[in-house]
């Protein structure tokens, strides 16, 4: 069970409205107005690649869990004769 003190600490650790404004201002000053779209495009591509890889791994696992049919198990034996 989460105590009220830990919930208070989590609430106080999250930035509020003024802090978000300062964070956005710092990002604009550090990267400039022209670099921010490129930065967001790179982040979006990274997230997309991650999700594609996650879906691929999920499909591989699901394919591995499916039982093979009897003909798939017998066919390599017939090819060797």
Residues 3-13 have pLDDT tens digits of 666 766 666 67
Average pLDDT over residues 22-36: 85
pLDDT of residue 59: 92
Q: What is the pLDDT of residue 23?
A: 87
Q: What is the pLDDT of residue 71?
A: 58
Q: DSSP for 3-60, please give it.
A: -HHHHHHHHHHS--HHHHHHHHHHHHHHHHHHHHHHHHHHHHHHHHHHHHHHHHHHHH
**How much is the pLDDT for 2?**
59
Structural domain spans, the chain? 4-79
pLDDT tens sequence across 31-69: 888 888 888 899 999 999 999 999 999 999 988 888 876
């Amino acid at each position: 069970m989460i105590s009220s003190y830990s919930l208070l600490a989590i609430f106080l650790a999250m930035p509020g409205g003024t802090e978000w404004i300062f964070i956005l201002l710092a990002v604009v000053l550090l990267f400039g107005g022209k670099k921010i779209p490129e930065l967001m495009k790179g982040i979006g591509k990274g997230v997309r690649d991650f999700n594609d890889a996650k879906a691929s791994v999920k499909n591989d696992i699901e394919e591995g869990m499916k039982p093979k049919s009897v003909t798939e198990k017998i066919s390599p034996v017939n090819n060797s004769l």
